[in-house]
């Protein structure tokens, strides 16, 4: 008897000891990440993993200001043609290699020259790198580029161990070596990604977990059930429809942040033959469609009021939002008047939409609203890969798609609405808009940039090549025992300062 008691006590102590000394944080993700190579990867969840795995040259604050991470300071040359960065000393990669100016140069070269690199367009403006000394790097630009710092605050600014990158080449993502707070341990596709604490981390005092396990659980109901059952400590992208029940749960905390991206309807204006229709050819009809939609009701009906109604590429909470054009009230009469002005009583349009239940439901609400103004929408549900292909090939009239959003405003607008923009699937083209958006891209003066975006907004608000509808709100649900989590509008999970409550 006495012995079994001792054994039980020992066991209890043993358990207490393991829970105190091996703190594993389990995070539920909506999807599985793709390849874990910052130069090649493309998924949102991949970036969430990188936030723990790979440090960047700079980071952002929740208010989108650029702050130091691996670079401690930076300075633009007077002509905006060079960016000189001072680097943090004493930083090592997970394989023990030192982080220095030569490493930065090697990383930028990899982003620019690796044939598989998806970062080329993000670091395109860099003409050359110059190692000034061990901890100073100078980036010489081809043309002034105000967006560069924001690019370096994301995947393009993530620093990989140059030695590992050279050895592994295109397969780097199978065993990534960076300099973040956690190092790569193992990955089982569709099951888990495990990172463990890196003791040599420069900011190790702020890290309070021994390991982090990311578990992709696509079904939102199941993800929440796992959190409730204690199998997860936190999850990202709680479904808006589960918000009320998660808030009512005493054991859970809910955090939210309006995202940087948008959802809207892209209209084919000049992309092949399918653009030859009233919606594509007549801006008044596009405006009528926009006016027929009650964005607040849309948000309440489909997203339980959790998202942010919108009408611009930036959410109303963004400093770049043009307040002169607030989210319009629904006005069916005005919409009908616009149709009349365009010489029609009603129009038939086809809108393609991704075949997932939420987007379908959202577009059905839009469909019902537009019908009251005389705009009859035919919805064509397509699986996403097909939708994307048809959209870029011009095989569509209008397409319900979104954009995940970028820290710098340029990333939400330039490539969509300039004549040669890489993702300008509507092929909207007005030289005066190009001039304004180009100007905003090169100026490093915030007021000057804002003025250029506002001037472009005046034109775009008349043209409406994209009818913006809403901005997704990131919703995280956390077990109450987690302390110190800060929601960011980029949807990332930063673990500095996060811990289990004692």
Partner 1 sequence: MFGFLARRILIAIPTILLISIFVFTLQKLLPGDPVLAMAGEERDPEVLEFLRAKYRLNDPIHMQYFYWIGGALQGDLGISLRTQQPVLALIGEKLPVTIQLAVMALSIALVIGVPAGVISAYRKGTWVDWLANVVALSGLSIPNFWLGIMLILLVSVKWGLLPASGYVPLSEDPLQSLQTMIMPAFVLGTGLAATLMRHTRSAMLGVLKSDYVRTARAKGLGERVVVVKHALRNALVPIVTVTTLLFGELLAGAVLTEQIFTIPGFGKLVVDAVFNRDYAVVQGIVLCTAVAFIAMNILADAAYRILNPRMRDD
> To which H or E segment does residue 73 belong?
strand 71-76
User: By CB under 8 A, is residue 403 in contact with partner 1?
Assistant: yes
Q: Which of 7, 15, 16, 34 is in the footprint of partner 1 by CB under 8 A? A: 34
Q: Which of 52, 69, 117, 125 is in the footprint of partner 1 by CB under 8 A? A: 117
How far apart are the C-alpha atoms of 99 and 178, rounded to whole Å?
A: 10
> To which H or E segment does residue 416 belong?
helix 410-417
User: By CB under 8 A, is residue 282 in contact with partner 1?
Assistant: no
Cβ neighbourhood burial of 205 (10 Å; 0-12, 13-18, 19+): exposed
Q: Report the residue number, 24 or 206, with the smaller CB distance to partner 1.
A: 24
The residue assigned the tokens 């956690």 is 182
* Stretch of 68-76, 288-296, 389-397, 434-442 contacting partner 1, by CB under 8 A: 389-397
Q: Which residues pair with 73 in a beta bridge?
A: 86
For 202, list phi and psi in degrees, rounded to 5.
-65, -25
User: By CB under 8 A, is residue 380 in contact with partner 1?
Assistant: no
Q: Report the residue number, 166 or 225, with the smaller CB distance to partner 1.
A: 225
Pairing of strands 82-87, 71-76: antiparallel
Smallest distance, partner 1 to C-beta of residue 188, A: 6
Q: Report the residue number, 40 or 299, with the smaller CB distance to partner 1.
A: 40
**Neighbour order of strands in the sheet with 473-479:** 182-188, 192-197, 211-216, 24-29, 234-235, 473-479, 252-258
- For residue 418, the tally of other CB atoms under 10 A from its CB is 22
User: By CB under 8 A, is residue 32 in contact with partner 1?
Assistant: yes
Q: Which of 18, 190, 346, 446 is in the footprint of partner 1 by CB under 8 A? A: 190
> To which H or E segment does residue 109 belong?
helix 101-113
* Stretch of 90-98, 117-125, 310-318, 436-444 contacting partner 1, by CB under 8 A: 117-125
The answer to whether 22 touches 210, Cβ cutoff 8 Å, is yes
Cβ neighbourhood burial of 344 (10 Å; 0-12, 13-18, 19+): middle
* Per-residue contact string for residues 210-249; x = within reach of partner 1 by CB under 8 A: -----xxxxx-xx--xx-xxxx------------------
The sign one gets for the Cα dihedral 392, 395, 397, 401 is negative
Smallest distance, partner 1 to C-beta of residue 118, A: 5
Q: Report the residue number, 74 or 172, with the smaller CB distance to partner 1.
A: 172
- For residue 343, the tally of other CB atoms under 10 A from its CB is 10
The residue assigned the tokens 């054991």 is 251
Smallest distance, partner 1 to C-beta of residue 34, A: 5
Smallest distance, partner 1 to C-beta of residue 70, A: 24
Q: Would you list the DSSP string of 2-15? A: HHHHHHHHHHHHHH
DSSP 256: E
User: By CB under 8 A, is residue 189 in contact with partner 1?
Assistant: yes
User: By CB under 8 A, is residue 188 in contact with partner 1?
Assistant: yes
Q: Which of 84, 92, 361, 386 is in the footprint of partner 1 by CB under 8 A? A: 386
* Stretch of 86-94, 170-178, 303-311, 371-379 contacting partner 1, by CB under 8 A: 170-178
Q: Report the residue number, 253 or 499, with the smaller CB distance to partner 1.
A: 253
Smallest distance, partner 1 to C-beta of residue 217, A: 5
Q: Report the residue number, 42 or 340, with the smaller CB distance to partner 1.
A: 42
Angle made by CA atoms 222, 225, 230, in degrees to the nearest 5: 130
Smallest distance, partner 1 to C-beta of residue 199, A: 25
Q: Which residues pair with 349 in a beta bridge?
A: 377
Site size toward partner 1, by CB under 8 A = 48
Token code pair at residue 41:
């990867």
User: By CB under 8 A, is residue 388 in contact with partner 1?
Assistant: yes
| Chain residues that interact with partner 1, rule: CB under 8 A | 32, 34-35, 41-42, 115-118, 120-122, 170-171, 173-174, 188-192, 215-219, 221-222, 225-226, 228-231, 382-386, 388-390, 392, 403-404, 415, 422-423
């Amino acid at each position: 008897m006495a012995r079994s008691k001792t054994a039980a006590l020992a066991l209890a102590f043993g358990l207490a000891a393991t829970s105190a000394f091996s703190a594993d944080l389990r995070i539920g993700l909506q999807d599985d990440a793709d390849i874990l190579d910052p130069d090649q990867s493309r998924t949102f969840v991949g970036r969430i993993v990188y936030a723990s795995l790979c440090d960047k040259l700079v980071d952002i604050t929740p208010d989108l200001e650029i702050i130091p991470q691996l670079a401690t300071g930076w300075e633009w040359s007077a002509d905006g043609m060079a960016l000189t960065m001072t680097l943090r000393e004493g930083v090592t990669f997970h394989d023990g290699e030192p982080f220095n100016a030569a490493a930065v140069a090697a990383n930028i070269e990899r982003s620019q020259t690796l044939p598989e690199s998806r970062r080329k367009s993000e670091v395109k403006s860099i003409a050359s790198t110059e190692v000034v000394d061990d901890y100073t790097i100078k980036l010489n630009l081809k043309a002034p580029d105000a967006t560069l710092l924001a690019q370096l605050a994301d995947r393009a600014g993530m620093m990989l161990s140059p030695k590992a990158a050279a050895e592994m080449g295109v397969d780097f993502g199978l065993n990534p070596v960076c300099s973040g707070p956690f190092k790569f341990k193992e990955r089982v596709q569709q099951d888990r990604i495990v990172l463990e604490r890196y003791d040599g981390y420069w900011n190790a005092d702020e890290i309070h977990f021994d390991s982090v396990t990311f578990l992709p659980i696509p079904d939102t109901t199941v993800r929440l059930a796992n959190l409730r059952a204690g199998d997860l400590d936190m999850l990202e992208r709680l479904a808006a429809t589960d918000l009320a029940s998660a808030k009512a749960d005493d054991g859970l905390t809910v955090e939210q942040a309006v995202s940087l991206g948008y959802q809207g309807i892209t209209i084919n204006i000049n992309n092949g033959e399918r653009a030859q229709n009233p919606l594509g050819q007549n801006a008044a009809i596009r405006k009528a469609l926009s006016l027929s939609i009650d964005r607040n009701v849309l948000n309440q009906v489909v997203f339980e009021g959790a998202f942010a109604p919108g009408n611009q590429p930036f959410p109303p909470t963004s400093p770049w939002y043009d307040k002169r054009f607030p989210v319009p009230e629904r006005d069916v009469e005005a919409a009908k008047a616009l149709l009349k002005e365009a010489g029609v009583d009603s129009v038939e349009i086809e809108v393609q939409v991704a075949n997932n239940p939420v987007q379908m439901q959202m577009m059905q609400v839009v469909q019902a609203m537009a019908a009251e103004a005389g705009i009859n929408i035919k919805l064509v549900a397509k699986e996403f890969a097909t939708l994307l292909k048809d959209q870029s090939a011009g095989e569509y009239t209008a397409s319900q798609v979104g954009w995940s959003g970028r820290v710098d405003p340029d990333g939400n607008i330039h490539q969509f609405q300039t004549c040669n923009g890489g993702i300008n699937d509507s092929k909207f083209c007005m030289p005066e808009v190009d001039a304004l958006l180009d100007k905003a891209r090169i100026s490093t003066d915030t007021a000057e940039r804002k003025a250029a975006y506002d001037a472009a907004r005046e034109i775009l608000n008349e043209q409406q090549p994209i009818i913006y509808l809403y901005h997704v709100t990131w919703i995280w649900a956390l077990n109450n025992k987690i302390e110190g989590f800060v929601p960011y509008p980029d949807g990332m999970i930063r673990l500095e300062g996060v811990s289990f409550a004692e």
